[in-house]
């Protein structure tokens, strides 16, 4: 069975259509939901989010489907009931993630959790469901804690993610592509092929000079150009912003060098940020409004755009349980 878990149930790869591989319905630091300064009513959240998803759906019509992968994970404002209602009303497929943005955003409850405990938690969310929503996770989020260096809890989460990915077949995406050596080592030790991992934010402003993205690509990992739109040209750019042209050149370098199959791209925008103001004017629709015209101007053809936003993410998101394949082969 080749399927992808969305919050409304499994779908076939052909149904995904256009995929924004790293986005957020709403992202906030753990506890922000308790801060009255930032607390949003459900009405406000729908009001901020629905028009952006409707526009995304409209922009993707010619691709035969719209898929929004929510990279929020456990503890950062993930709300699957809400995602289900958004998906039903807008027609956008929403893929939810299990896992954590990083060890430093996992609530203290998980701090001492063993690799086995975390693995079981991820597998439960992928195969049984997230809470009592019936919605299952379709991807696992992991990440590097603040400071650009893997912490012990990060490593534990990466190992648990690798085991859950092998068992269930869902892929992994990472927050930050810095300090990738220990990550690559863990995935190798666990026997997870590196094309099941998207090393995210390889293109952000603060990581430059610290990301060995070509080395990761050589090892077979996928490179995330997934902060498109966080441009220093914005009126109020975030600290991870980068000059628009510099990011574009970085990306085009991969295409010119024949490495298109190594990349995936997205905007990492928040439909309705939680506990912070977000970045005004930045939405997932940047891809259609600004990125694609810039790519076309630089001679990138429609087939390449289709490859990066339809074919490659479909291959990546389709569940490929390696351990069961290996076991089947061993007993055959
Ligand atoms: Zn993100």
Q: How far is 154 from 180, CA to CA, in rounded Å?
A: 12
At residue 210, the pLDDT reads: 97
Which domains occur in the chain, in start order? 4-331 (3.20.20.140)
**Is 80 exceeded by the pLDDT of residue 324?**
no
At residue 325, the pLDDT reads: 54
Q: How far is 207 from 158, CA to CA, in rounded Å?
A: 20
At residue 332, the pLDDT reads: 46
Give the confidence band of 321 by pLDDT, cuts at 50, 70, 90: confident
Q: Is the pTM of this model over 0.85?
A: yes
Q: What is the mean pLDDT of residues 158-179?
A: 98
The pocket of ion ligand 1, defined by CB under 5 A, consists of 71, 268
Q: What is the mean pLDDT of residues 299-313?
A: 98
Q: What is the mean pLDDT of residues 198-203?
A: 98
Q: How far is ligand 1, taken at its centre, from the CA of residue 275, in Å? A: 15
Q: What is the mean pLDDT of residues 108-113?
A: 94
- CB burial of 211-224 (b: ≥16 within 10 Å; e: otherwise) equals bbbeebbebebbbb
**Is 70 exceeded by the pLDDT of residue 1?**
no
CA 5 distance to own-chain centroid: 14
Q: How far is ligand 1, taken at its centre, from the CA of residue 192, in Å? A: 23
Give the confidence band of 303 by pLDDT, cuts at 50, 70, 90: very high
At residue 52, the pLDDT reads: 98
User: Which residues are within 8 A (CB) of 217 and not within 5 positions of it... i.e. 6 or more apart?
Assistant: 223, 254, 259, 262
Q: How far is ligand 1, taken at its centre, from the CA of residue 203, in Å? A: 12
Axis crossing angle, helix 115-127 with helix 152-168, rounded to the nearest 10: 40
Contact of 59 with 85, CB cutoff 8 Å: no
């Amino acid at each position: 069975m080749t399927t992808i878990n969305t919050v409304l149930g499994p779908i076939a790869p052909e149904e995904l259509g256009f995929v924004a591989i790293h986005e957020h319905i709403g992202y906030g630091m753990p506890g922000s939901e308790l801060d009255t300064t930032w607390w949003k009513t459900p009405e406000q959240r729908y009001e901020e989010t629905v028009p952006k998803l409707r526009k995304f759906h409209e922009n993707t019509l010619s691709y035969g489907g719209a898929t929004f992968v929510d990279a929020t994970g456990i503890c950062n404002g993930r709300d699957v009931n809400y995602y289900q209602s958004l998906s039903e009303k807008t027609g956008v497929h929403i893929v939810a993630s299990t896992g954590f943005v990083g060890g430093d955003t996992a609530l203290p409850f998980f701090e001492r959790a063993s690799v086995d405990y975390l693995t079981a938690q991820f597998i439960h969310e992928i195969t049984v469901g997230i809470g009592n929503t019936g919605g299952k996770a379709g991807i696992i989020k992991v990440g590097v804690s603040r400071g650009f260096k893997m912490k012990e809890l990060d490593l534990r989460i990466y190992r648990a993610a690798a085991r859950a990915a092998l068992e269930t077949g869902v892929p992994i995406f990472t927050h930050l592509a810095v300090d990738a050596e220990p990550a690559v080592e863990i995935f190798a030790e666990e026997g997870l092929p590196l094309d099941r991992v998207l090393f995210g934010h390889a293109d952000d402003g603060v990581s430059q000079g610290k990301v060995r993205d070509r080395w990761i690509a050589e090892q077979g990992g996928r490179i995330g150009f997934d902060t498109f739109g966080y441009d220093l040209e914005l009126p109020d750019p975030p600290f991870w912003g980068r000059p628009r042209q510099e990011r574009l050149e970085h990306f085009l370098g991969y295409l010119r060098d024949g490495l298109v199959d190594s990349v995936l791209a997205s905007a990492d925008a928040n439909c309705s940020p939680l506990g912070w103001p977000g970045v005004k004017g930045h939405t997932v629709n940047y891809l259609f409004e600004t990125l694609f015209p810039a790519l076309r101007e630089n001679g990138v053809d429609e087939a390449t755009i289709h490859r990066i936003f339809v074919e490659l993410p479909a291959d990546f998101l389709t569940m490929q349980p390696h351990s069961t394949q290996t076991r089947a082969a061993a007993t055959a």
